């Protein structure tokens, strides 16, 4: 009776309230996209300034666990640990809340230019990012509840079974594919027609297709088959092939770990979530035991005690920064910055990135109709349409180039005409005027197909270092992509594969033609030199840094052990994508969540009697 009444009331108001909602979203998108276009990123953490310099440290009490960072891993850890009523947990996050705009998947490039992004850029590069302003690639990192999962491109790509088996081969027991698969499944609430046995249907995290599929998708699969690439669920045991992309979305809206996990736990009385807080130091005593952390918020400085553990989940750039500021890192580097060395470890080293080459654009004579923001909003509110796609991609594929490696080496992302008109992409890529005007501005949202190629197992290594001992300074991010020639060779093989794919009669029938690349024209007659030059100019990253606090058995080459305890320090763990000891053949969000799920179980076991 009551339920019937509610339904009829909703029905009565449906006409007017849905129009109000549509108008609200149209205005929100108009205003926030304009703001992003003129937004200047910060270059320091000075918003926290007076607090950092404050002379009094206030006492913030004590908790069992203090978790630094509510990102992909931190949100999941806090959610799982707070399932145990007796643990008292404090989750500290530098950013604030997500909002209706950041929930729209297709706005992901715009989110780079909001306060939800820390705003890092790489240092000026010599082997990559040559076509970017200042030769610097953007290094976006989420600064918001949900962390990078709240600003990412929502693709759900776990990686290959061999990747995790390799973690064990590198000396990290417990991380084999058979052992981690249950944790991928535990998190997931899959809505896709994936392979049986590989997907969860009862987890917190919704995974779905963006619908409807682009009319170009069937053409892409058709051409893939002609290239001997079967159409697969790439999140299963056999990854090679092409597949429709699985997204972390729910009814078309972004499912960050903040929304999917933390929102289920925030009301628990044993969990305190504190946002707009910059953690500046882990306090470690003389016997090398982590005691708690110092943080600043609202211009005041605090110390909070951790009775059981401090868990650093500040991400691949900020976790190394925080460890180094706390005296854990390469001895010589810390000494040079007048930081007392507590433990000499290769923190910040071994930075790996999945380089992303966006240089293959094909224009076809198959043109989508010209549609308006109003139509996209109407569809979005039904959970459908181009606004529900992150970065515009609809499909993904994996190939194996080179020899010896068992996992795929190159990923390709298929971006059909996005329909959405926007200029933000050149700001997001940080391309110089030549590449902006003569390449990106030539993309036609109604008929251009864009292919992104990602290098899955880079040999090149970059590094995170401190600029100074001041937590208000941004750290340096030296990407150093393509410092190893093998990495160039793998991308060239990927380019050859895609060019052959577009030579199939499937694409010939719609007159697919490669858009001219404006750089390196003088080298056009020398095939390899030409593509190498193009790759070094145009390649950005897929925003997948990892490995800067890698796990392993040896203190010389790793920072944490296989349970993610910092070597040589007690009661201190690092749990985020920095701990990956080798590169997943996929994206990083799902593995970061998997790592947190697994460590939460390990921690619960250790403290089961206390
Ligand atoms: C633009 C972009 C697109 C991406 N696209 C995809 C994709 O489509 N699919 C995919 O799988 N992966 C994608 N990734 C990668 C993936 O999202 C990240 O690898 C993953 O979210 C990393 O999780 P994390 O827990 O390591 O760190 P994060 O999620 O970055 O969390 C770190 C958290 O710590 C907080 N923090 C840092 N320092 C401090 C401090 N000193 N005090 C307090 N809080 C602090 C940060 O604000 C942040 O919330 C993308 C990433 C980005 C940035
Ligand atoms: C801290 O103390 C120093 C020296 O006494 C003083 O110069 C400074 O202004 C103080 N800072 C604040 C924020 O009170
Ligand atoms: C691919 O497309 C062609 C027409 O373009 C069609 O004849 C063929 O059957 C398709 N193949 C598959 C496997 O869908
Ligand atoms: C699409 O429509 C907009 C107005 O809604 C117009 O400004 C634009 O020129 C049109 N583009 C094409 C290619 O027809
Ligand atoms: C597209 O190009 C193909 C191949 O050149 C041609 O057969 C077809 O008629 C063209 N279609 C349109 C709509 O122009």
pLDDT at position 192 over 70:
yes
Question: Does ligand 5 come within 6 angstroms of the Cβ of 511?
Answer: yes
Rounded to whole angstroms, the maximal C-alpha distance in the chain is 78
Ligand nearest the Cα atom of residue 301: 2
> Quick check: 531 and 357 in contact, CB under 8 A?
no
* Distance in angstroms (rounded) separating the CA atoms of residues 478 and 295: 27
What is the pairing mode between strands 188-190 and 138-139?
unpaired
Cα end-to-end span (Å), the chain? 49
Ligand 2 pocket by Cβ (under 6 Å): 50, 53-55
Q: Read off the pLDDT band of 16 (50, 70, 90).
A: confident
Q: What is the average pLDDT score of the chain?
A: 95
Please write the tens of the pLDDT for every residue from 131-154.
999 999 999 999 999 999 999 999
* Distance in angstroms (rounded) separating the CA atoms of residues 168 and 15: 58
* Distance in angstroms (rounded) separating the CA atoms of residues 604 and 610: 10
Distance from residue 54's CA to the centre of ligand 2 (Å): 7
* Distance in angstroms (rounded) separating the CA atoms of residues 494 and 208: 28
Question: Does ligand 1 come within 6 angstroms of the Cβ of 312?
Answer: no
* Distance in angstroms (rounded) separating the CA atoms of residues 229 and 58: 60
Nearest residue (by CA) to ligand 5, atom 1, is: 510
Q: Which atom of ligand 5 is nearest to the CA of 508?
A: 4
Torsion of CA 23, 25, 27, 33, to 10 degrees: -160
At residue 483, φ and ψ (nearest 5 deg) are -75, -15
What is the residue whose two structure tokens read 């590989």? 198
> Quick check: 568 and 280 in contact, CB under 8 A?
no
Q: Is 156 helix (H, G, I), strand (E, B) or coil?
A: coil
Q: How far is CA 462 from CA 30, 219, 314, 514, in A?
A: 38, 38, 19, 32
Q: How far is CA 218 from CA 221, 224, 385, in A?
A: 5, 10, 17
What distance lies between CA 512 and its chain's CA centroid?
A: 31
Question: Does ligand 1 come within 6 angstroms of the Cβ of 70?
Answer: yes
Beta bridge partners, 278, equal 296
**544 has catalytic annotation:** yes
pLDDT above 70 as % of the chain: 97
Helix axes 589-606, 177-187, angle to 10 degrees: 100
- Give which of 521, 477, 485, 522 is closest to 137, Cα–Cα: 477
Distance from residue 110's CA to the centre of ligand 4 (Å): 22
Nearest residue (by CA) to ligand 4, atom 10, is: 370
The residue whose CB lies within 8 Å of the most ligand 1 atoms, and thus the one to mutate among 60, 116, 138, 148, is 148
Question: Does ligand 1 come within 6 angstroms of the Cβ of 139?
Answer: no
CB atoms within 10 A of CB 557: 15
pLDDT given at position 89: 98
pLDDT at position 1 over 60:
no
pLDDT given at position 405: 57
**Is the bond into 284 cis (omega within 30 degrees of 0)?**
no
pLDDT at position 187 over 50:
yes
* Distance in angstroms (rounded) separating the CA atoms of residues 84 and 50: 37
Q: Is 113 helix (H, G, I), strand (E, B) or coil?
A: coil
Q: Which atom of ligand 1 is nearest to the CA of 590?
A: 11
Tokens of 327: 């005296």
pLDDT given at position 52: 80
Ligand 4 pocket by Cβ (under 6 Å): 370, 372
* 258, containing H or E segment: helix 257-260
Nearest residue (by CA) to ligand 3, atom 4, is: 506
Please write the tens of the pLDDT for every residue from 305-319.
999 999 999 999 999
Distance from residue 53's CA to the centre of ligand 2 (Å): 7
pLDDT at position 352 over 70:
yes
* Distance in angstroms (rounded) separating the CA atoms of residues 144 and 141: 9
pLDDT at position 239 over 50:
yes
Ligand nearest the Cα atom of residue 220: 3
Query: Average pLDDT in the 378-399 region?
Result: 96
Q: Read off the pLDDT band of 42 (50, 70, 90).
A: very high
Distance from residue 551's CA to the centre of ligand 1 (Å): 18
Question: Does ligand 5 come within 6 angstroms of the Cβ of 367?
Answer: no
Beta bridge partners, 396, equal 243, 413
The residue whose CB lies within 8 Å of the most ligand 3 atoms, and thus the one to mutate among 222, 242, 506, is 222
Nearest residue (by CA) to ligand 2, atom 1, is: 55
Q: Which atom of ligand 4 is nearest to the CA of 444?
A: 13
pLDDT at position 210 over 50:
yes
Q: Which atom of ligand 1 is nearest to the CA of 391?
A: 8
* Distance in angstroms (rounded) separating the CA atoms of residues 528 and 606: 55
Q: Read off the pLDDT band of 3 (50, 70, 90).
A: very low
Distance from residue 215's CA to the centre of ligand 5 (Å): 16
> Residues at the annotated binding site?
144, 279
Q: What residues contact residue 5 under an 8 Å CB cut-off, 6+ apart?
A: none
Q: Read off the pLDDT band of 102 (50, 70, 90).
A: very high
pLDDT given at position 404: 58
pLDDT at position 609 over 80:
no
CB atoms within 10 A of CB 378: 17
Q: Read off the pLDDT band of 51 (50, 70, 90).
A: confident
Ligand nearest the Cα atom of residue 509: 5
Residue 13, phi-psi category: left (phi > 0), alpha (psi -120 to 50), beta (remainder): alpha
Of 537, 544, 546, 567, the catalytic one is 544
Q: How far is CA 460 from CA 353, 479, 484, 491, in A?
A: 8, 9, 5, 13
Q: Is 283 helix (H, G, I), strand (E, B) or coil?
A: strand
- Give which of 350, 347, 355, 349 is closest to 481, Cα–Cα: 355
Distance from residue 451's CA to the centre of ligand 5 (Å): 22
Question: Does ligand 3 come within 6 angstroms of the Cβ of 276?
Answer: no
pLDDT given at position 106: 97
Tokens of 244: 């429709």
* Distance in angstroms (rounded) separating the CA atoms of residues 36 and 526: 41
* Distance in angstroms (rounded) separating the CA atoms of residues 66 and 306: 6
- Give which of 399, 391, 452, 396 is closest to 422, Cα–Cα: 391
Q: Read off the pLDDT band of 406 (50, 70, 90).
A: confident
**587 has catalytic annotation:** yes
Q: Which atom of ligand 1 is nearest to the CA of 546?
A: 19
At residue 359, φ and ψ (nearest 5 deg) are -85, -5
* Distance in angstroms (rounded) separating the CA atoms of residues 312 and 548: 13
Please write the tens of the pLDDT for every residue from 560-604.
999 999 999 999 999 999 999 999 999 999 999 999 999 999 999
The region of weakest confidence among 2-6, 120-124, 298-302, 551-555 is 2-6
Q: Which atom of ligand 4 is nearest to the CA of 372?
A: 5
Q: How far is CA 141 from CA 105, 441, 451, 488, 494, in A?
A: 16, 26, 23, 26, 27
Question: Does ligand 1 come within 6 angstroms of the Cβ of 258?
Answer: no
* Distance in angstroms (rounded) separating the CA atoms of residues 572 and 95: 23
The residue whose CB lies within 8 Å of the most ligand 3 atoms, and thus the one to mutate among 215, 506, 507, is 506
pLDDT at position 12 over 50:
no
Question: Does ligand 3 come within 6 angstroms of the Cβ of 506?
Answer: yes
Q: Which atom of ligand 3 is nearest to the CA of 225?
A: 13
Q: What residues contact residue 21 under an 8 Å CB cut-off, 6+ apart?
A: 381
pLDDT given at position 8: 42
């Amino acid at each position: 009776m009551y339920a019937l009444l509610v339904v009829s009331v909703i029905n009565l108001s449906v006409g007017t309230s849905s129009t109000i909602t549509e108008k609200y979203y149209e205005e929100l998108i108009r205003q926030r996209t304009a703001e992003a276009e003129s937004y200047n990123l910060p270059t320091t953490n000075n918003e926290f300034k007076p607090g950092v310099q404050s002379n009094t440290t206030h006492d913030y009490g004590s908790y069992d666990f203090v978790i630094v960072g509510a990102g992909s891993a931190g949100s999941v850890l806090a959610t799982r640990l707070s399932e145990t009523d007796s643990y008292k947990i404090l989750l500290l996050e530098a950013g604030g809340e997500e909002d209706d705009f950041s929930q729209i998947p297709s706005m992901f490039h715009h989110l780079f230019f909001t306060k939800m992004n820390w705003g890092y850029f790489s240092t000026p590069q010599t082997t990559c990012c040559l076509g970017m302003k200042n030769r610097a690639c953007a290094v976006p990192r989420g600064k918001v509840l949900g962390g990078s999962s709240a600003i990412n491109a929502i693709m759900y790509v776990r990686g290959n079974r061999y990747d995790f088996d390799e973690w064990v081969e590198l000396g990290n027991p417990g991380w084999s594919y058979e052992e981690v698969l249950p944790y991928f499944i535990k998190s997931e609430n899959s809505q896709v027609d994936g392979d049986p046995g590989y997907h969860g249907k009862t987890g917190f995290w919704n995974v779905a297709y963006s619908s409807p599929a682009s009319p170009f998708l069937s053409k892409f699969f058709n051409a893939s088959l002609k290239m001997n690439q079967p159409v697969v669920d790439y999140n299963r045991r056999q990854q090679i092939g092409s597949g429709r992309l699985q997204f972390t979305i729910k009814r078309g809206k972004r499912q960050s770990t903040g929304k999917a996990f933390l929102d289920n736990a925030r009301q628990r009385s044993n969990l305190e979530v504190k946002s707009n807080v910059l953690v500046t130091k882990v306090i470690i005593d003389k016997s090398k035991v982590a005691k708690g952390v110092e943080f600043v918020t609202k211009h005041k400085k605090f110390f909070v005690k951790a009775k059981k553990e401090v868990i650093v989940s500040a991400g691949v750039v900020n976790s190394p920064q925080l460890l180094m500021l706390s005296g854990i890192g390469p001895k010589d580097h810390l000494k040079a910055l007048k930081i007392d060395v507590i433990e000499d470890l290769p923190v910040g080293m071994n930075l790996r990135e999945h380089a992303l080459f966006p240089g293959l654009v094909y224009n076809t004579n198959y043109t989508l109709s010209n549609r308006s923001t109003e139509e996209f909003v109407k569809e979005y509110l039904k959970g459908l349409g181009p606004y529900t796609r992150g970065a515009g991609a609809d499909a993904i594929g994996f190939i194996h180039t080179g020899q010896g490696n068992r996992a795929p080496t190159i990923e390709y992302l298929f971006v059909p005409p996005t329909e959405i008109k926007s200029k933000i992409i050149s700001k997001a890529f940080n391309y110089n005027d030549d590449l902006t005007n003569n390449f990106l501005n030539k993309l036609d949202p109604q008929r251009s197909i864009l292919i992104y190629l990602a290098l899955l197992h880079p040999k090149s290594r970059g590094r995170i270092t401190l600029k100074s001992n001041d937590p208000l300074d941004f750290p340096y991010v030296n990407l150093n992509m393509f410092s190893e020639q093998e990495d160039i060779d793998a991308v060239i093989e990927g380019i050859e594969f895609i060019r052959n794919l577009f030579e199939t009669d499937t694409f010939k029938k719609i007159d697919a033609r490669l858009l001219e690349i404006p750089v390196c024209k003088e080298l056009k007659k020398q095939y390899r030199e030409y593509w190498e030059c193009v790759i070094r100019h145009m390649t950005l990253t897929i925003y997948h840094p990892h490995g800067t606090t890698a796990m392993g058995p040896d203190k010389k080459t790793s920072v944490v052990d296989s349970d993610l305890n910092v070597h040589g320090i007690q009661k201190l763990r690092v749990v985020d994508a920095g701990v990956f000891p080798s590169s997943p053949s996929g994206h990083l969000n799902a593995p970061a969540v998997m790592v947190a799920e697994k460590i939460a179980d390990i921690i619960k076991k250790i403290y089961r009697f206390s």
